[in-house]
Amino acid sequence: MNNPFKQIRWVLTAIALLAVGMKLAVAHEQETGVEVKPVREEKLANVPGQSLTAITVNYAPGGKSSPHQHAGSVFAYVLTGAIKSENSATGPAKVYRAGESFFEPEGSKHLISENASATEPASLLAVFVAADGAQLTAFDTAASATPAGQDLAHQILETMIQVHGVKAGHRPVHAKGIVCEGTFTPSADAATFSTAAHFQKASVPVTVRFSDGVPELAIPDNSPDAGPRGMAIRFELPGGEETDIIAMSHNGFVVGTGEEFLALQKSIVATDPSKPHQWPVEAFVASHPRALKFVVDNKVIPASFATEAFFSNDAFIFVNKDGLKQAGRYEILPVAGQHDLSDAEAKAKPADFLFDDLKTRLANGQVKFRLVVQLPNTGDPKSDPSLVWPDDRKTIEVGTISITSAVADSAATEKSLAFDPANLTDGIDLSDDELPALRSEVYALSVKYRHQTQPAQTSTASATANSK
């Protein structure tokens, strides 16, 4: 790939392919008093590529969903109460009572779906026949458009969950992950740098989640689209307090502000690769050189999570016992050294190799990282995490993260884990970099979203990655 224009085109094609398909996720805010429970899911051996999924939908009195569209075809059978339904293909609104059924053909819109009673509950069984892994419910974008005046955090999350590949019940980014345990041991210098409890003498337990960067649960680890990798760390402090660091494998974030991040997400959602170039996401990246660098750099596949370096990108303020304040950004550097794979080496790897490799390493010993804080020179930009400070800047070694094991049930553990970039502790403060506070709001909305939505299907690859 010597022609740089060809390479850029290839890179843009790759990110755009991630962006489309328009399989929208369920935004729970668009359902009031509606509870969806999975019943059964089976791949149809007689219809390759199609699955049958049965769910029950319980409507509280007055419960309703806003207009939406389903993947595939749907058969609905009212179990209890009375449900008012209108489908764009099958005629005007009608009330269906227990024992009655209706059908929604593929491509039709479910315009009304509500409990006909304001006093009695109602329920139905719905059976979908749809493509394997399809997002079963997509709310009408016009109906669900971000209300005017909605704050930036809501707008970002609402847009993120529309990106192709996002699965209900899972993180909209960094979906494929593995949860590990270990300890953090502070260096001799840490206590003079900050009064943070984990920077004092004793070691503290840590929970660490490594991840591929994209929404797809089944992304092969050797895909050039799987990056950046994530490393999220929770330090358990004396007295039951906790503090987090959330880092990724790229030094320099894709954009510098929340507004730009929203614009990037919107450009991804608006991209349809069946349309001629230049796609919205191509236009965004072409006009944001640091985003282009981010995309190109993240195509490189690491040899192991244990040989990857991770960066907070965001700056924080470290306060010492004399009240002295010092800005800094975290670098989490592998003790085993940083190693990437060549294209040929990457192609030869199996889909879950990063996860398998980590488990093998942990079976044979600890995986260690140095926790370092990079300090800016006077004049270095501290508020924009897309602007990287040069490598020659001073660093302070604050300790060692020693990972000892993967947790027994990573898939269940990661569901309840909710990292927060603004979950700090005395001795570490937010800086004039505004992203961690905004991210904190977006992550909280994301956690709410994934806890309120039901997973449509568990990815085989991810389930394998998590359970081995």
Q: Which residues are catalytic?
A: 174
Of residues 267 and 312, the one with the C-beta less far from ligand HEM: 312
Residues 235 to 254 in contact with ligand HEM, rule: CB under 6 A: 246-248, 253
**Closest distance to ligand HEM from the beta carbon of 445 (Å):** 7
Report the first-to-last Cα separation within the chain, whole angstroms. 36
Least distance in Å: CB of 283 to ligand HEM? 20
Smaller CB separation from ligand HEM, 83 or 291? 291
Min separation Cβ 102 and ligand HEM, Å: 35
Nearer to ligand HEM, 50 or 458 (CB): 458
CA separation for the pair 222, 350 (Å, rounded): 7
Pairing of strands 68-70, 137-139: antiparallel
The reply on whether position 267 binds ligand HEM by CB under 6 A is no
Residue 57 contacts residue 39 (beta carbons within 8 Å):
no
* Cβ-contact 307, 336 below 8 angstroms: yes
Closest residue to ligand HEM using C-beta atoms: 230
How far is it, in rounded angstroms, from Cα 176 to Cα 182? 20
Distance CA 219, CA 343 (A): 17
Report the 10 Å Cβ neighbour count for 460.
Answer: 13
- Residues numbered 410-429 forming contacts with ligand HEM, rule: CB under 6 A: 417-419
Q: Which of 63, 81, 133, 172 binds ligand HEM (CB under 6 A)?
A: 172
Judged by CB under 6 A, the residue of 85, 450, 459, 465 near ligand HEM is 450
Decide whether 167 or 174 has the Cβ nearer to ligand HEM: 174
Query: Measured in whole angstroms, how far is the alpha carbon of residue 136 from the centre of its chain?
Result: 19
Applying CB under 6 A, does 389 fall inside the site for ligand HEM?
no
Phi and psi, residue 434, nearest 5°: -85, -5
Task: Specify the residue, 72 or 328, whose C-beta has the smaller distance to ligand HEM.
Answer: 328
Q: Note whether 166 and 153 are within 8 A (CB).
A: no
CB of 44 to ligand HEM, least distance (A): 32
Q: How far is the CB of 259 from ligand HEM (least distance, A)?
A: 9
Q: Are 331 and 375 in contact (CB under 8 A)?
A: no
Q: From its phi and psi, is residue 142 left (phi > 0), alpha (psi between -120 and 50) or beta?
A: alpha
Residue found under tokens 């409507």: 59
Selected from 439, 459, 461, 466, the binder of ligand HEM by CB under 6 A is 439
Asked if residues 340 and 298 have their Cβ atoms less than 8 Å apart, the reply is no
Exposure pattern of 152-161 as b/e (b: 16+ CB <10 Å)? ebbbbbbbbb
Measured from the CB atom, the residue of 12 and 332 that comes closer to ligand HEM is 332
**Segment interacting with ligand HEM (CB under 6 A) among 17-25, 195-203, 237-245, 446-454:** 446-454
Kindly tell me which residue out of 135, 155, 207, 211 binds ligand HEM, with binding defined by CB under 6 A.
211
- Interaction of residue 446 with ligand HEM, rule CB under 6 A: yes
Residue with Cβ nearer ligand HEM (80 or 452): 452
- In terms of phi and psi (left: phi > 0; alpha: psi -120 to 50; beta: otherwise), the region of 72 is left
Q: Which is nearer to ligand HEM, 195 or 211 (CB)?
A: 211
Q: Pick one of 116, 156, 190, 351: the residue that binds ligand HEM (CB under 6 A).
A: 156
| Contact between 174 and ligand HEM per CB under 6 A | yes
Please report how close the Cβ of residue 359 comes to ligand HEM at its closest, in angstroms.
17
**Binders of ligand HEM: how many residues, by CB under 6 A?**
32
Structure token digits, residue 161: 């969950």
Which helix (DSSP H) or strand (DSSP E) does residue 284 occupy?
Answer: helix 280-286
To ligand HEM, the closest distance from the beta carbon of 35 in angstroms equals 21
209 touches ligand HEM (CB under 6 A) = yes
Tell the residue number behind the tokens 């290839």, with chain if given. Answer: 10
What sign does the CA torsion over 451, 453, 456, 462 have? negative
Is 442 a residue that touches ligand HEM (CB under 6 A)? yes
* Of the residues 18, 173, 245, 319, which one makes contact with ligand HEM according to CB under 6 A: 173
The single residue among 368, 447, 458, 468 that binds ligand HEM, judged by CB under 6 A, is 447
Distances (CA, A) of 414 to 188, 405, 445: 33, 15, 16
- Closest approach, Cβ 13 to ligand HEM, in A, equals 24
Cα–Cα distance measured from residue 375 to residue 280, given in angstroms and rounded to the nearest whole number: 37
Residue among 227, 280, 385, 427 that touches ligand HEM (CB under 6 A): 385
Nearer of residues 72 and 230 to ligand HEM, judged by Cβ: 230
How does DSSP classify residue 71?
Answer: S
Q: Using an 8 Å Cβ cutoff, are 135 and 128 in contact?
A: no
> Which residues ranging from 270 to 329 are in contact with ligand HEM (CB under 6 A)?
311-314
Alpha carbons 128 and 38: distance in angstroms, whole number = 11
Give residues in contact with ligand HEM (CB under 6 A): 156, 160, 171-174, 177, 209, 211, 230, 232, 246-248, 253, 258, 261, 311-314, 385, 417-419, 435, 439, 442-443, 446-447, 450
